[in-house]
Amino acid sequence: MSAPKEATQQQRTPLAVADFDHVEFYVGNAKQAAYFYRLAFGFDAVAYRGPETGVHNLVSYALQHGTIRLVVTSALTPDHPVAEHVHRHGDGVGVVAFRTPDAAGDFDRAVERGAKAHRTPETMRDEYGVAQIAEIAAYGDTLHRFVSRDNYTGPFLPGFVPYSVKASHTGFLHRIDHVVANVGWHEMETWVKFYEDIFGFFQFRHFDEKDISTEYTALRSKVMASPNLAIKLPINEPAEGKKRSQIQEYVDFYGSPGVQHIAIATPNIIQAVSQLRANGVEFQSVPATYYDTVTERVGDIEEDLAALRDLNILIDRDDQGYLLQIFTKPVQDRPTVFFEIIQRKGSESFGKGNFKALFEAIERDQAARGTL
């Protein structure tokens, strides 16, 4: 990353990005990955590009569930950058894309403020209308893509053709709540400054090793957010502990900083997690004793505590309300990317009260892998 120029008031003016647009995974086999997300997570396949559409070095499937868009992309040649990304990182997130009314303007402002350009603004057309995209570099090999699609009515973006394969179970996931980055030792403040200076985002929450630690490991985290709070980007870095933290394990296996997890909001977490478990999605678990005193900590909740206990769903409360959350196990062989399912009942926090129980569960998996 190019170091951002010294911030001025003008440079802190937020970009026009309004929300997450999509997340693109670079994977070894896009057809199989699309099948997995359709059957396991209930995503509909909505669009496709590949040799049949005139793209001879890539295959991509666009998937949608509620307002959530995922893209899974594979290279068809070993020298393609996507193939190199998969070789280095395994299956992982290559692009976190933001919807904006002005992709070119956001790109120009970002580059002027010190971001490294990756793809200059490109206007694309097909029978469904016009869209514009541009890209800048972020942490590790991750890209941020600006997408303007206000004048586009197609299933995804120009270059893709409709490809409709419905999931057997859908409707229980709603939107992307936040996307979490893991970075290396003492790199968190660099990326906090990146989102402050380049995007005009602000620090929404801050957690240190006193908040996020167990007997063995610790980490620090700062949450950057857009002014409208639609985009939240927690950034984690390792902290000193007796053993190797989950953040360090991620960076070691991924080969660089990258996206650790994607949090998906649901209006009914009991329904969502019940269906996901039935679909074969594996989740982290906590000891049954977690629930013995949880209501003393969080107070009254509307949901059936027995159902939450059976599903291993965690509960936390802040001064605005409470939240319910659960984390999947990694969704590829390397212990890197996973998903969070979250239901907010007023709370705008991230489950601080659950950190210790969650990280002890992750440490049990690390111990089983011999990487703690």
pLDDT digits (tens, 9 = 90+) for 148-165: 999 999 999 999 999 999
Which pLDDT score is estimated for 371? 65
Same topology for domains 19-165 and 175-369, yes or no? yes
Which pLDDT score is estimated for 3? 42
Q: Is 199 helix (H, G, I), strand (E, B) or coil?
A: helix
Please give the Cα distance from 258 to 140 (Å, whole number): 6
Low-confidence ranges of the chain (pLDDT < 70): 1-11, 208-218, 241-244, 351-369, 371-372
> Cα angle at 171 between 142 and 181, to 5 degrees?
20
Which pLDDT score is estimated for 43? 96
Which pLDDT score is estimated for 2? 43
Which pLDDT score is estimated for 5? 44
Q: For tokens 């906090």, what's the residue? A: 192
Its pTM stands at 0.91
Q: Residue type at 60?
A: S
Domain boundaries, the chain: 19-165, 175-369
pLDDT digits (tens, 9 = 90+) for 310-354: 999 999 888 899 999 999 999 999 999 999 999 999 999 876 666
Which pLDDT score is estimated for 80? 97
- The fourth-level CATH superfamily of domain 175-369 is 2,3-Dihydroxybiphenyl 1,2-Dioxygenase, domain 1 (3.10.180.10)
Please give the class, per CATH, of domain 19-165: alpha beta
Please give the Cα distance from 212 to 354 (Å, whole number): 9
Closest CA to 91 of 24, 152, 140: 24
**Do residues 270 and 311 lie in contact, with contact meaning Cβ atoms separated by under 8 Å?**
yes
Tokens of 30: 């896009």
Q: For tokens 């090999």, what's the residue? A: 141
Tokens of 169: 């179970």
- Decide: residue 226, CB within 10 A, 0-12 exposed, 13-18 middle, 19+ buried: buried
